[in-house]
Amino acid sequence: MTPNQRTIDSKPIPFMDRRAAIGRSLQYAALTLSMPTWAAFENQSSQETLVPFLDMPRTRPNRLDWEMLTDWITPQDQVFNVQHYGMPEIDLDAFRLTLDGLVNKPAVLGMDQIRSMPKKEQLMTLECSGNGSSKGFMDAVYNSRWGGTPLAPLLQQCQPSSEATEVVFYGADTKEEVLRPGTNRELKIEVPFGRSMTLKEAMALPLLLAYERNGAPMEHRNGAPLRLIVPGYYGVANVKWLTRIELRDRRYMGRYMARDYVTVRAREQDGEIIHEETSVGRMNLKSIIARVTQRPLGQGKVALRAYGAAWGDGTPIERVEVQLNDGAWQQARWDESSQTSPYCWRFFWMDLGEVGPGDHTLISRAIDQKGRIQPSAEDDEIALKKTYWEAYAQWPRQIRIES
Ligand SMILES: Nc1nc2c(c(=O)[nH]1)N[C@H]1C(S)=C(S)[C@@H](COP(=O)(O)O)O[C@H]1N2
Ligand SMILES: [Mo]
């Protein structure tokens, strides 16, 4: 396996101890002048310096660097990758997309044909549903302008038969899966990575067959030559190296639809605990504080400011609130430099006023137009969730102001 073929690393990343964090704050102090700015902050002060988080893992290549976040569209060198079956080798000349199954007009399309179809751009924040499940896995999210052709008209051209209810998307990456391992019913099957949705959903969502990211040809690691883009859904639905779209009349139960990326939640009903298992699909409302800065006020006091991002399933986010220590929730301001698009994150910022030396905790929560509030780790919605997928709880950030 080459380093590129590694799937996400589930081992915890070593965390900085206190001394290292202080060392880092000194290192940042020296970097003051080059600290990135978010364009909209009219009143951003040149005296602002970064207050490093005490619990932030080291920045890794090809991952989002929250504290240095500047761009609304994530630069390619901060884009993470997940591929459960490794990266497939693809012969670009021989590459074809097949649309078959319960359609009256199956199609086999080369990339030239796909590129000659009507082009559309779709802005979308893509997040792995495991992102936020631990301190070591907080950086698997990125925002892009995807370019490609909409799927719905193409499906229509293939004339789905009246029995078709399900659309399955397969990647070129395959692996041997073992069912009922270690039993006398053990079964080994070679399967492609696959995900599905109902035909109704596939026609209603603005799905895109994408071949560009940010106006440039998409990179192989992001799914080139062709990937599915599913606005409002977690990363797993966005099948890379898309080679086949199959229509059928029964549910697809592949590993990443039905056995893995399954969320288990407990719920009490009539005094009994019921466990619900659902396939990871639509994204949840989420926000995070990305960066905290301080500005000296004299006599050991500083003024704190927090910057962050909020995103969800496409429902407009009404507001983000920030809490300092055990204080009241205060409404943050939107960063007007970042665009607004329903399927993308929005950047926010908030002045938190004056604080003294010591440790402080900052938390953010998003609230959407349906009235949903991003839950805390203690709320049943999260506390009774048994699996780590869909990690959208409020995330407390710890900082230390040195005396
Ligand atoms: N073909 C294929 N597509 C895939 C996967 C995969 O393993 N194979 N992983 C999915 C998961 S779990 C995530 S989070 C996203 C990551 O997309 P990226 O590598 O472009 O960041 O790809 C999705 N698409
Ligand atoms: Mo993922």
User: How many angstroms does the Cα of residue 129 sit away from the middle of ligand 2?
Assistant: 5
Of 369, 335, 370, 367, nearest to 350 by C-alpha is 335
Contacts 24+ apart (CB under 8 A), 344-347: 344/72, 344/123, 344/124, 344/125, 344/143, 344/311, 345/72, 345/125, 345/141, 345/143, 345/309, 345/310, 345/311, 346/309, 346/310, 346/311, 346/317, 347/38, 347/72, 347/290, 347/307, 347/308, 347/309
Q: Residue 42 has what pLDDT?
A: 43
| Separation CA 353–CA 258 (nearest Å) | 48
Q: Residue 350 has what pLDDT?
A: 93
Q: Residue 71 has what pLDDT?
A: 86
Q: Residue 367 has what pLDDT?
A: 98
| Separation CA 340–CA 256 (nearest Å) | 31
Of 212, 372, 402, 400, nearest to 286 by C-alpha is 372
Q: Residue 67 has what pLDDT?
A: 86
The sheet with strand 97-101 has its strands ordered as 107-109, 97-101, 242-248, 166-179, 187-198
Instruction: Provide the 8-state DSSP code for 286.
Output: E
**223-237 residue pLDDT tens:** 999 999 999 999 999
Ligand nearest to the CA of 175: 1
- Residues constituting the chain: 403
Q: Residue 45 has what pLDDT?
A: 63
Q: Residue 30 has what pLDDT?
A: 37
For the CA of 223, the closest atom of ligand 1 is 20
The amino acid at residue 196 is S
* Whether the CB of 236 sits within 6 Å of ligand 1: yes
CB 334 within 8 Å of CB 348: yes
Instruction: Provide the 8-state DSSP code for 81.
Output: -
* Whether the CB of 83 sits within 6 Å of ligand 1: yes
**14-51 residue pLDDT tens:** 333 334 444 444 444 433 333 445 544 444 566 888 89
For the CA of 88, the closest atom of ligand 1 is 1
* C-alpha distances out from residue 215 to 124, 218, 239, 259, Å: 14, 9, 20, 36
Ligand 1 pocket: which of 126, 238, 280, 390 to mutate (most atoms <8 Å of CB)?
238
For the CA of 221, the closest atom of ligand 1 is 19
Calculate Rg over the CA atoms of the chain.
Answer: 23
Name residues whose C-beta falls within 8 Å of residue 334's C-beta, 6 or more positions apart in sequence: 340, 346, 347, 348
| Separation CA 95–CA 90 (nearest Å) | 7
| Separation CA 136–CA 56 (nearest Å) | 8
Name residues whose C-beta falls within 8 Å of residue 247's C-beta, 6 or more positions apart in sequence: 99, 100, 101, 102, 103, 155, 158, 160, 161, 164, 166, 167, 168, 199
Instruction: Provide the 8-state DSSP code for 257.
Output: I
For 358-371, letters b (16+ CB in 10 Å) and e give eebebbbbbbbeee
| Separation CA 307–CA 319 (nearest Å) | 14
**135-173 residue pLDDT tens:** 889 999 999 999 999 999 999 999 999 999 999 999 999
Structural domains for the chain: 18-72+282-401 (2.60.40.650), 82-260 (3.90.420.10)
For the CA of 241, the closest atom of ligand 1 is 1
* Whether the CB of 171 sits within 6 Å of ligand 1: yes
Segment-wise mean pLDDT, segments of 10 residues, the chain, 403 residues: 34 37 44 44 66 81 87 93 97 97 98 98 97 91 98 98 98 97 96 98 97 98 98 98 98 97 95 96 97 90 94 97 97 86 94 94 98 97 95 96 88
Q: Residue 38 has what pLDDT?
A: 52
Dihedral sign computed on CA atoms, order 113, 115, 121, 126: positive
Q: Residue 277 has what pLDDT?
A: 97
Ligand 1 pocket: which of 138, 236, 242, 259 to mutate (most atoms <8 Å of CB)?
236
Q: Residue 234 has what pLDDT?
A: 98
With the CA atoms of 84, 89, 93 and 96 taken in that order, what torsion angle do they form, in degrees rounded to the nearest 10?
-30
C-alpha of 18 from chain center: 29
